[in-house]
Structure 1
Amino acid sequence: MNRIKEFYGKNKKIIKAILITLIILLTTYVIVKEVRGLDARELLRMARTMTFWQKFMFIALGLLCFSFAAIYDFILAAYYRMKMPKLEVFRIGWISQSFNNFIGFGGVAGLTIREFSYNKFDVDRKVVNRIMFIVLFSDIIGLFSLALPSSIGLIKIGKPTLIPLMVLMFAVVLLFIFSDKLPIKKYVTDEDSIFAKGQLKLRVLLTLQSTFEWFLAALFFAFTIKFYQPEISLMESCIVYVLATIVGIISMIPGGLGSFEVACMVLFKMMGYGEPNIVFSLLICRICYTIIPWLVGLILLMISPKDESGEQVFEKANFMSLLLSFSVLMTGVIIILSVAMPRLFIKIRVMGRLFPDYMIMFNRRFTLVIGILLVVLSNGIKNMVKVAHNLSVMLLTIAAIIYLSKGRSYIEAVICIVIAMALLLNRRYFQASTGRLNKSHLIKNSVFVFLIFITYIIFFNITHKVDFLNGTGKYSLDFIKNYPIYVLFSPLVAILVLAVMAGINRKHVEFKKNTDEGMEIFNKFYEKYPYTPYTHLFYMDDKNYFLNEKGTVMFLYRPYKDNILVLGDPAGEPDDFEDAIDELIEWAYGNKMKVCFYQITGKYLEDYMSIGFRFLKIGESATVDVQNFNLAGKRNKVLRKTINSMETKGLSFKVIEPPYDNKTMEELKAVSDEWLGKREEMHFSLGAFEESYLNRAPIFVIENEVGEIEAFANMMPIKGSKVLSIDLMRHKNDAPDGIMDMLFITIIEWAKENGYEYFDLGIAPLSNVGNKRYSSTKEKLVNLAYEYGNKIYGFKGLRKYKNKFNPEWSSVFIAYKDDLSLPETLLALVNVCYGRDTIKDLDYYEELRKKAIN
């Protein structure tokens, strides 16, 4: 039993995914089986016989019945005394419930919209969470309430098999109402929880509202069924509605689309009622109670309330991009299905007379291309790309015209028009530019596609014994001449899709070399504010800066793909740090980029924590108190011996000042190259040997008796502080033993003489991170990821070496938003630190990830 529990614990997500997939596949199989026998022509005939007033009646009744779903929000807004306009409460309720009905996903769609909408009115976060949970739970309670009258109905019609299930469902309602009587007090920590003792009135009120909402929905369903199948009683229809709705929820298919209808057909068939009247009634229900309210909800969502703040506009832009992306994707899928199912794609006779067969074929193929392109463009919509927005509007308009020209496909046309309108109403959010289209890459892909297609033709002709030169079969020379559109359609569509995919890739913020104007702004800022330990690295010209709107806080960062990698703590006015961090994140998110703060100290963790960042320790920083540093004591015996040996070896310490002449720079370069060997220079959080960079600060050197440089370290100034720091630390391979000890000790002594209080020895990566048996997976992952750096740069011995100088150790962290994005962020940091433009180590990372998990 324990093994089973352990196996389930390790593979819980996979098991759930498999179960959901099996449910969806089983449901899809049943749907296909039931739909296969439908007569589409008969359904079309029934649709044509509907009068205008019948259509108006069904739509009006559907909207009226659905409108009661918004009452949840009225009840809760009044109960929690939320100061919101009643019209806005109704708007939120309608939008949330309409998306819940249409998209479903266990109520997640409605919850997301409610959270987004209430946040705009500064409703307390706890209240918002409470409302979302209450609505999610109460919504299903009303459905279960109908189980009792349904069980009575089952007895009357002589179908008692499902009565135990109905009774069990109704029992859940009673348990909900009297939940304060259950032994769950220790689990109810929130006094205002729906399950708390004082919330009986609210539970009863919500149960009545939910029951009434579901009753109206069932009544509309029953009325529609009875209108076309009079012999079916209202009670029978209500029973079917309750059971079929439960099946739809269990199926996990968005909105129960298909699964609900098939369950209804099966249940009615068990009662002895047949098609197609029932099927047509179900279509009316789906359109009038689900699709049309959703279209109204979508339009309401497009209409923004006045006086939105900048942050609210930003949040809405991200939300709308995801929503419209899903809408465009689903529209593309609907268009593809309309082409793939000819029985639902019937053209009027007039079209057949006006256009020859090949034009009708072309029309279908053109519609298919539009569907495929919309599916591809949905990713560009998600990334708020302007080109993707404009192309989508154009294609949706063309698709609507094509559907209207057929004279039958009004539903598809309306969907296309509404989505196009939604995109146009939100066009202000789609301002992102795209990356430059690589023409040579596109040509190579086109050649590759045609080579594959030619290979396919050769293979087809061989296997089907087609004589290419003299035959008339498919893919013979004669066939290709007579049907060029048919033959070239597939490869041309493939090339078009590749071109669109390449053309809608969002152009993220890119690194740009700093201009003279930018350098002037940078220097003026630091005339007023002190440096951080990493400020001087800006002169490496491998980072950009972000200055807040007030001009009081500055961050150093490097963009990498969709990441903004910020180095160290912010500089400037501490009181403005939290707002500036928020401003930086909004700017990054507006460009669809994630933010990571690298090598931050514990000083400002609260500022990061307050806006939802998570932390991961990545090492410890060593700082020496130079005023109290001495070489006395048994522990420092080796260091004393090292200093005493300097004179006997003819070594001397020297501080050289910029600008450096060519001879000095060449000598330093020779030492640096010898020390590096085959290793690469590091960047971003460390400096590299660049003449322009080194010429901005003094350099500490150890010279031999003839004045040749044996080792050196460049100063990394921290203006406005009493801290001395160094960056590059390099020596000749044949330098005397202990040469770096000599350099460090003499630098510390020089710092003491020149009024410094601390000497920053830098970071020991991985110090006390991920090396414990019970360390988290992500800590182990960091440890293993840095193994890659250790192979090249040798990190592991740093702590041991720095401990010689009795430093004080303080933790350094990475601040990040999401555990799922952490591996990608770490890879981005590795690549930026090693100066790579692309991630080349995915296979290596995958190996590290597996090791970390094990």
Structure 2
Amino acid sequence: MADAHKVAAEYRASRVARLFLTYRLYILGTVSLVVFTLVAFGVYRLTAEVRYQDVLAALSNTSWVSIALAVLFTGLSFLALIFYDSNALDYIGRKLPFPSVAVTAFVAYAVGNTVGFGPLSGGAIRFRAYSRFGLSPGDVARVIAFVTLAFGLGLLSVSALATLVVAPRVAGILEIDAFWLRAIALLVLVALAGLLFVSRSGRSVGLGGLSLRLPDSRTSSRQFLVSACDIAASASVLYVLLPETHVGWPTFLAIYAVAIGFGVLSHVPAGLGVFEAVIMAGLSNVIGIDQLLGSLVLYRLIYYVLPLLLAIVLLLVVETRQLTMRPGFAEAAQLAGRLAPALISTLALVIGTMLIFSSVVPTPDTDLDFLSAYLPLPIVEAAHFLSSLLGLLLLVAARGLGQRLDGAWWVALAAACVAFAFAFLKAVAVFEAALLALFIVALLFNARAFDRHSSLLRHALGPMWLATIAVILIAAFIILLFVYRDTQYAHGLWWQFEFSEEAPRGLRALLGLAIAASAVALFSLLRPAHFRTQAPTPEDIERAVAITMRQDVADANLVRMGDKRLLFSPSGDAYIMYGIHGRSWIALGDPIGAKEEFPELVWQFVSAARAGGGRAAFYQISPALLSACTDVGLRAFKLGELALVDLSQFDLKSSRLANLRQSYNRGLRDGLAFSVVPAADVGAIVGDLRAISDRWLAHHNTKEKTFSLGAFDEAYVMSQPVAVVRLEGRIVAFATLMVTDTKAEATVDLMRFAPDAPKGAMDFLFVSMIEHLREAGYRQFNLGMAPLSGMARREAAPVWDRVGGTLFEHGERFYNFKGLRAFKSKFQPRWEPRYLAVSNGAGAALALMDVTFLIGGGVKGVISK
């Protein structure tokens, strides 16, 4: 009873954490939106004396030499960024072809820099790319952790060094005491030097039970040079675009590093607005705001948009098959093709933003004069208004493009084609039309990549996508206020329709965007509550059992319990069994059946979960399924390791199995006898088995489990062979066997023994089963998974390890998992990792909670054991 009260208290204490994890993305999105709004209005007030024409003049005054230098430094920065990944792979001891690493890193940074941490990320691209080269999820996580930490530490060290050198100059610009600037910079450098000293030999340090291997001096110094080159080159991109100024490069580097840091910490996509605000706050008293704004606009275009466009062009070159015939480049070319959806999705986001921003800025007078000579005003007004809505439509379609939806592809293609025509009708926008043409060509050349049949309307936008769209619309509103700062607002502006009246046209476009975006947000946020699909019918179970018996995974016989829902592939040759608890749709293990249908079935399950307002998760999946899960945007988290015994190599006479041999012989001396009862004959002994099971449950003060474990249901027990151990003719232990017709694998589910069974009866039972199955021609025996096995020295994702370790500590407590590793190791098995695949770390923690409740029979079942 005390244990039950303790568990109940722990559950109540975890409710706050669970609520935070559930709504973490909504909270983060809201915070980012609030931060951006405050910063955006701060920038608007900073530019109170600046006019739109001044910014255009500053842009036109930028020399082509400065632009060429900015492009050169952008190339140098991205070259350094590629070596982040190269060093990370070297750090974890994995070697990959450099062209493939270069393609992956370039695409990851081109996408990640443009959209920031939000809807698309460089981390997801690395999971998709590196997993195809055989890297485990842990390896990829270590790569991501390395590049993230390397950038952060590099940014700290470079900014601290620059600040230490030019503290008086920076202090004068920021109006801060130079002493405190130098003190802070020195403190940062001392801390970094201490870290470098501690890690000089590549030693491992313990952090709360975790072991983290620090990079050695060679790796650290090499990465510092790479980080310094990256930050110096990216800072030079903006520096060469600035007008002539007496601000030295070291001073500017310190301010730039601080601006980048605040942009990253703000969690606003691409640091939009936050970066600009810090730069303007630091340099506005030495450089004109209008010139600063012009330089910042060019910086964003060159450093953020240009690499993305270059990646798209390279993708189109790859599609012409010119590179695939050259040795050394074929693999990289194929990899670029696989990353096409992420690139095209990001380009859709950029072009949608461009269409929205262009709807709130004035059209050049020469273009308006040209249009007025050939087109009636209603056509120009309609093209202008509809172009903004098409921009919003492309923002919505961008998510579906990233998920390879054919519906999103058709919507994006149609929207881009119409917007291409409108670009000439509204403003003779040649640059805009060129980008749309590139986008259309990229869609057409990569049409086969968007092969998932799904309607765009079925998929509601998540909180981070909604926050990103809100950021873009707020930015458009600030731009509108800035451009028409001197226009006096009046109600009559809404009804003014003239070629020369640009402010009313922008107001109407923004109003239409606000209404349409609100409708999208309401549709996404007020989607139907998550629903539960129907339980399987007897016919469904019979159909699933028939598939199960034709394949090699013995655990698939858990479908016989009938407690899990079933999702069949369109052909009916494969299925997924899953359970629902809360918002979690949890698939148990890999799909069962025809392997060629697994990728589409994984997508079918994820799509169904999202359409039902749920969170898709795959529990205890094998490494073979990771690629399919990565392709649908899921991340893998290691759960433990599965113990597999090769029956052809199992020899009880071996010295390695001496302890098992002694246990087996002791059981024979004690009078134990083993036999396997065929499924057809189990009915005759099911009463004896029930009695043993009830006594076992009472002795262990526990209740039946479900989902990933079978319960003692007579129909379920009688559907499979049962291995029994008798003492003087009385059954004292039994285990239900799960097998398939292929004889590729066998395993056990229920394992129960009488409290008065001789010591070592379970060892005797397992050894006897393995010997029997080996003689019957089975190739492999599955001993089941050991939770947390192989995770103790994991270097990546310490937060996940702590959360997962805590949850699985409860899992072991409830399911008697403690000590399983030691017991299974006696059989000298081969250990194979098993994973949980879900969208993110918070989703993983929530999914594990829901798995606990599914197995334990809900909250009441967990509390009462």
* Distance in 1 (alpha carbons) for counterparts of 2:638 and 2:82: 35
Q: Give the CA deviation at 1:358.
A: 2.2
* Distance in 1 (alpha carbons) for counterparts of 2:187 and 2:95: 36
**Residues 522 and 119 of structure 1, relative CA distance in 2, 3 Å threshold:** closer
**Residues 134 and 269 of structure 1, relative CA distance in 2, 3 Å threshold:** same
In the other structure, the counterpart of 1:691 is none
**Paired residues of 1:510 and 1:560 also in contact (CA < 8 A):** no
Q: Give the CA deviation at 1:138.
A: 1.9
Cα-to-partner distance string for 1:767-814 (whole Å, 9 max, x where unaligned) = xxxxxxxx9999999xxxxxxxxxxxxxxxxxxxxxxxxxxxxxxxx9
SS at match of 1:399: helix
- The AA in structure 2 aligned to 1:168 is I
**Residues 830 and 314 of structure 1, relative CA distance in 2, 3 Å threshold:** farther
In the other structure, the counterpart of 1:175 is 191
Pairing of 1:639-718 with structure 2 (within 5 A)? none
**Residues 422 and 194 of structure 1, relative CA distance in 2, 3 Å threshold:** farther
Report which stretch shifted further, 260-269 or 586-595. Answer: 586-595
Q: Give the CA deviation at 1:68.
A: 2.9
In the other structure, the counterpart of 1:122 is 134
**Residues 54 and 432 of structure 1, relative CA distance in 2, 3 Å threshold:** same
Do structure 1's residue 150 and structure 2's residue 163 form an aligned pair? yes
**Residues 520 and 339 of structure 1, relative CA distance in 2, 3 Å threshold:** closer
In the other structure, the counterpart of 1:210 is 227
**Paired residues of 2:315 and 2:337 also in contact (CA < 8 A):** no
Pairing of 1:49-64 with structure 2 (within 5 A)? 55-64=67-76
Pairing of 1:792-807 with structure 2 (within 5 A)? none
Do structure 1's residue 361 and structure 2's residue 377 form an aligned pair? no
Report which stretch shifted further, 353-362 or 108-117. Answer: 108-117
* Distance in 2 (alpha carbons) for counterparts of 1:186 and 1:629: 54
**Residues 12 and 24 of structure 1, relative CA distance in 2, 3 Å threshold:** farther
- The AA in structure 2 aligned to 1:105 is F
Q: Give the CA deviation at 1:336.
A: 2.5
Q: Which of 212, 217, 239 is matched with 1:200 structurally?
A: 217
Q: Give the CA deviation at 1:193.
A: 5.6
* Distance in 1 (alpha carbons) for counterparts of 2:223 and 2:566: 56
Do structure 1's residue 424 and structure 2's residue 463 form an aligned pair? no
**Paired residues of 1:73 and 1:89 also in contact (CA < 8 A):** yes
**Paired residues of 2:575 and 2:592 also in contact (CA < 8 A):** no
* Distance in 2 (alpha carbons) for counterparts of 1:101 and 1:830: 40
In the other structure, the counterpart of 1:136 is 148
- The AA in structure 2 aligned to 1:207 is F
**Residues 163 and 423 of structure 1, relative CA distance in 2, 3 Å threshold:** farther
* Distance in 1 (alpha carbons) for counterparts of 2:556 and 2:103: 49
**Residues 830 and 372 of structure 1, relative CA distance in 2, 3 Å threshold:** farther
**Residues 170 and 255 of structure 1, relative CA distance in 2, 3 Å threshold:** farther
The size of the alignment, in residue pairs, is 615
Q: Which of 105, 116, 128 is matched with 2:117 structurally?
A: 105
In the other structure, the counterpart of 1:161 is 177
In the other structure, the counterpart of 1:88 is 100
In the other structure, the counterpart of 1:671 is none
How does the TM-score come out when normalised to structure 1?
0.54
In the other structure, the counterpart of 2:310 is 296
Do structure 1's residue 256 and structure 2's residue 271 form an aligned pair? yes
* Distance in 2 (alpha carbons) for counterparts of 1:234 and 1:630: 81
In the other structure, the counterpart of 2:397 is 377
In the other structure, the counterpart of 1:393 is 413
Q: Give the CA deviation at 1:558.
A: 8.2
In the other structure, the counterpart of 2:814 is none
Report which stretch shifted further, 114-123 or 816-825. Answer: 816-825
* Distance in 2 (alpha carbons) for counterparts of 1:11 and 1:716: 37
Q: Give the CA deviation at 1:96.
A: 2.9
Report % sequence identity. 14
Report which stretch shifted further, 89-98 or 180-189. Answer: 180-189
**Residues 322 and 62 of structure 1, relative CA distance in 2, 3 Å threshold:** closer
**Paired residues of 1:348 and 1:407 also in contact (CA < 8 A):** yes
SS at match of 2:289: coil
**Residues 203 and 409 of structure 1, relative CA distance in 2, 3 Å threshold:** farther
Q: Give the CA deviation at 1:389.
A: 0.3
Pairing of 1:562-641 with structure 2 (within 5 A)? 586-591=599-604, 593=606, 626=685, 629=688
**Residues 150 and 389 of structure 1, relative CA distance in 2, 3 Å threshold:** same
Do structure 1's residue 287 and structure 2's residue 346 form an aligned pair? no
**Residues 722 and 314 of structure 1, relative CA distance in 2, 3 Å threshold:** farther
* Distance in 2 (alpha carbons) for counterparts of 1:369 and 1:531: 51
In the other structure, the counterpart of 1:224 is 241
Cα-to-partner distance string for 1:363-395 (whole Å, 9 max, x where unaligned) = 111212212322333454354331320220231
SS at match of 1:591: helix
Q: Give the CA deviation at 1:139.
A: 1.6
In the other structure, the counterpart of 1:804 is none
**Paired residues of 1:176 and 1:203 also in contact (CA < 8 A):** no
**Paired residues of 2:263 and 2:270 also in contact (CA < 8 A):** yes
Q: Give the CA deviation at 1:757.
A: 11
**Residues 253 and 524 of structure 1, relative CA distance in 2, 3 Å threshold:** closer
In the other structure, the counterpart of 1:72 is 84
* Distance in 2 (alpha carbons) for counterparts of 1:108 and 1:515: 42
**Paired residues of 1:130 and 1:193 also in contact (CA < 8 A):** no
* Distance in 1 (alpha carbons) for counterparts of 2:256 and 2:689: 85
Q: Give the CA deviation at 1:256.
A: 1.9
- The AA in structure 2 aligned to 1:220 is V
Cα-to-partner distance string for 1:804-837 (whole Å, 9 max, x where unaligned) = xxxxxxxxxx997558489899999999xxxxxx
In the other structure, the counterpart of 1:803 is none
In the other structure, the counterpart of 2:721 is 721
Q: Give the CA deviation at 1:758.
A: 8.6
* Distance in 2 (alpha carbons) for counterparts of 1:80 and 1:322: 26
Cα-to-partner distance string for 1:52-103 (whole Å, 9 max, x where unaligned) = 6665554344334443332323444556664333222322332233334323
**Residues 187 and 624 of structure 1, relative CA distance in 2, 3 Å threshold:** farther
Q: Give the CA deviation at 1:294.
A: 3.0
Cα-to-partner distance string for 1:285-336 (whole Å, 9 max, x where unaligned) = 222222212332455578599699xx99999999765665455345434423
**Residues 11 and 367 of structure 1, relative CA distance in 2, 3 Å threshold:** same
Cα-to-partner distance string for 1:268-299 (whole Å, 9 max, x where unaligned) = 2233x313223222222222222212332455
Unpaired segments ≥5 residues, structure 1: 439-471, 476-482, 570-576, 597-603, 616-622, 637-684, 687-712, 725-751, 764-774, 782-813, 832-844
**Paired residues of 1:548 and 1:583 also in contact (CA < 8 A):** no
What root-mean-square deviation, in Å, do the aligned CA atoms of Structure 1 and Structure 2 show? 6.8
* Distance in 2 (alpha carbons) for counterparts of 1:70 and 1:613: 27
Q: Which of 325, 347, 355 is matched with 1:335 structurally?
A: 355
**Paired residues of 1:535 and 1:556 also in contact (CA < 8 A):** no
**Paired residues of 1:314 and 1:586 also in contact (CA < 8 A):** no
* Distance in 2 (alpha carbons) for counterparts of 1:519 and 1:281: 66
Q: Which of 394, 399, 423 is matched with 1:403 structurally?
A: 423
Q: Give the CA deviation at 1:39.
A: 2.4
Unpaired segments ≥5 residues, structure 2: 1-12, 459-491, 496-504, 610-618, 627-636, 641-681, 696-708, 725-729, 739-748, 751-804, 812-833
Q: Give the CA deviation at 1:147.
A: 3.0
Q: Bigger radius of gyration, 1 or 2? A: 1
Q: Give the CA deviation at 1:201.
A: 1.9
Report which stretch shifted further, 100-109 or 132-141. Answer: 100-109
Report which stretch shifted further, 250-259 or 120-129. Answer: 120-129
* Distance in 2 (alpha carbons) for counterparts of 1:392 and 1:578: 32
* Distance in 1 (alpha carbons) for counterparts of 2:259 and 2:397: 35
**Paired residues of 1:563 and 1:825 also in contact (CA < 8 A):** no
